[in-house]
């Protein structure tokens, strides 16, 4: 198990500012569960007698098992930006499943999680509040990860080749900035659009079009975070947008504000 993995922002907007208010760590899973789990993540903070901080988060196409005081559960991919209020002192622990990696556990369309998160006890043989109390009482982050692996491993399903295919698709979308349309994905993986849509609904929980748009615009936000003076008009062209108004509309749909407003913030 290793921490401090090389990582993008995990969808945390204005991450450099955010890390003044909290600590973020990621841990690779053991080989036994790496087919299903992408990584474990831990956010901790101590803002005692300090001003609260509102962290904005862009969604991703993954299911997350989250353990936090009074709010634990299994959550599907969100379809819009959301915010988390960081205040007082606390910790949130998460297991981020690979795209499609949670379907073998639940054997129902992952799209059903969009507005109806599951309790941890619905999938794993453990009481949610008891797990909260036990895991969040641990001081060592590695001990938290080891405990989470202990309750996930007994429920490991058989590996599903569709999960491998979906991750190949998502990796390709992330790597190829020129991918802007679902038709390109269909052509690259020799699959008709209807089959592709059904696969993503069942395994990922969101449409392939949404995943393509998400990664293009998250990439744009991260670029503007690193370099606020970056020419966002040129950036839109680099991301395959030939219509500037289309880029602004999509950016606002994912990030919540226009590129100009994002840089000003």
pLDDT tens, residue order, the chain (265 aa): 555 444 445 678 888 888 899 999 999 999 999 999 999 999 999 999 999 999 988 888 999 999 999 999 999 988 778 889 999 999 999 999 999 999 999 999 999 998 799 999 999 989 989 999 999 999 999 999 999 999 999 999 999 999 999 999 999 999 987 888 999 999 999 999 999 999 999 999 999 999 999 988 888 888 888 887 888 788 888 888 888 888 999 888 888 889 888 888 7
- Per-residue tokens: 14: 């204005």
Considering the chain, tell me which residue range(s) the CATH 1.10.10.60 domain(s) occupy.
161-264
Q: Please list the residues that pair with 54 across neighbouring strands.
A: 85
Topology, domain 161-264: Arc Repressor Mutant, subunit A (1.10.10)
pTM of this structure: 0.90
In angstroms, the CA 23 to CA 230 distance is 27
């Amino acid at each position: 198990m290793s921490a401090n993995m090389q990582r993008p922002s995990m969808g945390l907007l204005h991450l450099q500012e955010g890390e003044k208010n909290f600590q973020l760590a990621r841990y690779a899973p053991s080989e036994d569960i790496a087919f299903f789990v992408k990584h474990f993540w831990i956010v901790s903070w101590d803002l005692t007698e300090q001003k609260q901080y509102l962290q904005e988060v862009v969604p991703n196409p993954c299911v997350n098992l989250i353990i936090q005081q009074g709010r634990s559960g299994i959550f599907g991919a969100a379809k819009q930006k959301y915010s988390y209020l960081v205040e007082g002192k606390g910790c949130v622990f998460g297991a981020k499943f690979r795209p499609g990696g949670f379907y073998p556990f639940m054997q129902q369309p992952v799209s059903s999680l969009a507005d109806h998160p599951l309790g941890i006890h619905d999938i794993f043989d453990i009481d949610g509040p008891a797990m909260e109390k036990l895991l969040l009482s641990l001081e060592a982050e590695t001990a938290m990860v080891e405990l989470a692996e202990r309750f996930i491993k007994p429920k490991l399903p058989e590996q599903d080749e569709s999960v491998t295919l979906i991750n190949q698709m998502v990796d390709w979308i992330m790597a190829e900035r020129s991918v802007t349309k679902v038709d390109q994905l269909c052509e690259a993986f020799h699959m008709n659009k209807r089959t592709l849509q059904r696969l993503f609904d069942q395994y990922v929980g969101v449409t392939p079009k949404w995943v393509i748009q998400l990664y293009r615009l998250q990439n744009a936000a991260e670029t503007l975070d690193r370099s606020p003076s970056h020419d966002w008009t040129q950036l839109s062209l680099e991301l395959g947008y030939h219509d500037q108004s289309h880029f602004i509309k999509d950016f606002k749909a994912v990030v919540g504000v226009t590129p100009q407003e994002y840089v000003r913030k």
